[in-house]
Structure 1
Amino acid sequence: MKKKIYIAGCGGMLGEAFYTQFKDEYVIKCTDKDVNEDWLSFLDFRDFDAYKKDVEDFNPDYIFHIGAYTDLEFCEENVDDTYMTNTIAAENAVYLANSLNIPLLYISTAGIFDGKQDLYDDWDLPNPLGVYARSKYMGERFVAENANKFLICRAGWMMGAGPKKDKKFIQKLMKQLKDGNKELFIVNDKDGTPTYTHDFALTVKELIQKEYWGLYNCVCGGQTGRLEVATELVNLLGLSDSIKINSVESDHFKDVYYAERPASERLLTKKLELRGVNKMKDWKVALKEYIENYYQGYLD
């Protein structure tokens, strides 16, 4: 008999990958407060009573709690809403998983580190800089300290789901190219690791099937920065002759992106490698796959 997974906060770019990668092998119920797919039903996981009823009615074998506010500027301006969504709701998920005695998946982020080191492995201690980072780290800590059985997977610079749901770096660049921009201004002082949503979901699947519970950095292979990612994207699209990339410092965008960001969010997937369960491809390979799968004809 197929095992059942309740996926909360499944309406975004990561949710699309989880739905795609898990729907055939598991019975899944996908919920979100934004019902933007026919496979989603409504749930606001900040409403504990509603969350509890929905989960108990479904009676799952796992809870995947994957939704969060990830816009750093929004989080700085909406502090209570951010803690409610990113921290308190994660606590709700822990209570529910423990009451049903089932494992919980929580998604954390490379953004919880202060960026003073060049690289962070699974055992480095976080030091969050802003409201977003702190809200996610407090969620992570609550899960690690209180859940009976848990999987915490830390993602890096997320890419996935294409123009419809990707609100991050790749889609922002693609939108500029689609709008006819011949120049891109890219920061040269921010390092990190791209994370392809489908590889991330496949790695989670491997971890739960092997029952390797605990905390894992879960990012693509290879270490890079914003400038290298943009350059690789333009090359992949065959536009390196016609698009000029201007290297700028973060201050160039300080009016738009004023929330503090770590200089380095580079994660090492040390634990995944030691356990032999790393499904995360090199970021250049993953980026190529992403563009081919989701952006055919987008710039035409």
Structure 2
Amino acid sequence: MKKRIYIAGCGGMLGEAFYEQFKNDYEIKCTDKDVNEDWLTFLDFRDFQEYKRDVEAFKPDYLFHLGAYTDLEYCEEHKDDTYLTNTLAVENAVYLANSLDIPLLYISTAGIFDGKKDLYDDWDMPNPLGAYARAKYMGERYVCENAKRFVICRAGWMMGSGPKKDKKFIQKLMKQLKDGKKELFIVNDKDGTPTYTHDFAKTVKELVENEYWGLYNCVCGGQTSRLEVAEELVKLIGKQDEVKITSVSSEHFKDIYYAERPPSERLNTKKLELRGVNKMRDWRIALKEYVDNYYQNYL
């Protein structure tokens, strides 16, 4: 008998990787308010009664709560919606997991730190800056303080699922290149760690199957910056001679990206390494695989 996993908020870039990594070994039910795949069914997990009814009917062995608003500007403009989605819905998930006596997975973020340190380990104290970070951190804290058994994984700069669902940095750059841009303006004052969705899902699988409950930083290896990632991407697609990368400060984009962001979101994966379950590869290797697998014939 395969174990059963209920995955809520599975319609995004991370959900695609979880579906691919778990579908063969588990019986999974994937839900989202945006039904954009034939393997998804509709659920808005902010509706507690519907969430409860759907999860209880499936009788899962695990509850994975993936979904959240991740657009920082949207979160600043719509704080109530952000807390409803990124915090209160998580409290509901904790209640459901506890009432069914099953483990809960919650996805947190490197963005909960204030960036005053260059590098954060699993035990550093968060200090969230904006509405998005605060809502996610409150979700993280609620899980830590109230869930009976849980895995929390903090992701960094997410990349995955290609042009279809990636709304983050890599896809934004690829779209500019597809549109024929010959110059990319990249910020030089933001450091962090890319996180490939498939490596992330594989690492979660190891944690869950070994019952290594707890809180983990879960990012690719190698500390880097927005600038370095952009340079590597342009090199990977063989356009380093055609495309100019111009280094700018965050001030350059302040009209578009006005929500406060920490100067450093760099995490290390000390706990994963100590547990011996780290499937997170170096970011350059992961980025190459990502581009090879999802951007063939895109440009």
The TM-score bracket by the shorter chain reads: over 0.9
Residue matched to 2:73? 73
Amino acid of the structure 1 residue aligned with 2:281: K
Which residue matches 1:169? 169
Residue 110 of structure 1 deviates from its aligned partner by: 0.0
In structure 2, the gaps of 5 or more residues are none
Shift of 1:97: 0.1
CA deviation after TM superposition for structure 1 residue 125, in Å: 0.3
Question: C-alpha root-mean-square deviation of aligned residues, in Å?
Answer: 0.2
Give the corresponding residue for 1:109: 109
**Other-structure match for 1:270:** 270
Partner amino acid, structure 2, of 1:160: G
Q: Which residue number corresponds to residue 120 of structure 1?
A: 120
Counterpart AA for 1:282? D
- Mapped pair 1:43 → 2:43: yes
CA offset digits 1:176-207 (Å, max 9, x no partner): 00000000000000000000000000000000
In the other structure, the counterpart of 1:240 is: 240
Pair 1:148-2:120 in alignment = no
Moved over 3 A (4+): none
Question: Which residue number in structure 2 is paired with residue 180 of structure 1?
Answer: 180
Q: Distance in 1 between matches of 2:175 and 2:54?
A: 37
What corresponds to 1:292 in structure 2? 292
Q: Does the alignment pair 1:24 with 2:43?
A: no
Q: CA deviation at 1:70?
A: 0.1
Structure 1 CA distance, aligned partners of 2:276 and 2:54? 35
Distance 1:225 1:10 in 2: 28
Alignment match, 2:192: 192
- Encode CA deviations 1:100-124: one digit per residue, 9 max, x unaligned: 0000000000000000000000000
Aligned counterparts of 1:295 and 1:275: Cα–Cα separation in 2: 34
How far did residue 287 of structure 1 move? Answer: 0.1
- Displacement of 1:234 after TM fit? 0.2
Partner of 1:253: 253
Task: Please tell me the residue identity of whatever aligns with 1:232.
Answer: E
Structure 1 residue 212, shift from structure 2 partner: 0.2
Query: Using the alignment, how far apart are the partners of 1:74 and 1:208 within structure 2?
Result: 32
> Which amino acid in 2 is paired with 1:291?
V
Q: Deviations over 1:107-164 (max 9, x none)?
A: 0000000000000000000000000000000000000000000000000000000000
Aligned-pair distance for 1:50?
A: 0.1
Q: Distance in 2 between matches of 1:251 and 1:38?
A: 42
Question: In 1, Cα distance between the equivalents of 2:210 and 2:275?
Answer: 10
Q: 1:108 aligns to what SS in structure 2? A: strand
Q: Deviations over 1:26-69 (max 9, x none)?
A: 00000000000000000000000000000000000000000000
Distance (whole Å) between structure 2 residues aligned to residue 13 and residue 92 of structure 1: 23
Counterparts of 1:104 and 1:274 in 2: how far apart (Å)?
22
Partner of residue 214, structure 1: 214
Q: Please state whether the residue corresponding to 1:195 is helix, strand or coil.
A: strand
Deviations 1:71-110 (A, max 9, x none): 0000000000000000000000000000000000000000
Q: CA deviation at 1:16?
A: 0.1
Q: Secondary structure at the match of 2:7?
A: strand
Deviation at 1:5, TM superposition (A): 0.1
**One-letter code aligned to 2:40:** L
Once residues 45 and 122 of structure 2 are traced to their aligned partners in structure 1, the CA distance between those partners, rounded to angstroms, is 28
- For the residues of structure 1 that align with 2:287 and 2:228, how far apart are their CA atoms? 12
Residue 56 of structure 2 corresponds to which residue in structure 1?
Answer: 56
Report the TM-score when normalising by structure 1: 1.00
Tell me the CA shift for residue 295 of structure 1: 0.2
Give the counterpart letter for 1:259 in structure 2. A
Amino acid aligned to 1:65: H
* Distance across 1 between alignment mates of 2:173 and 2:8: 29
Query: Which amino acid letter does the alignment assign opposite residue 221 of structure 2?
Result: G
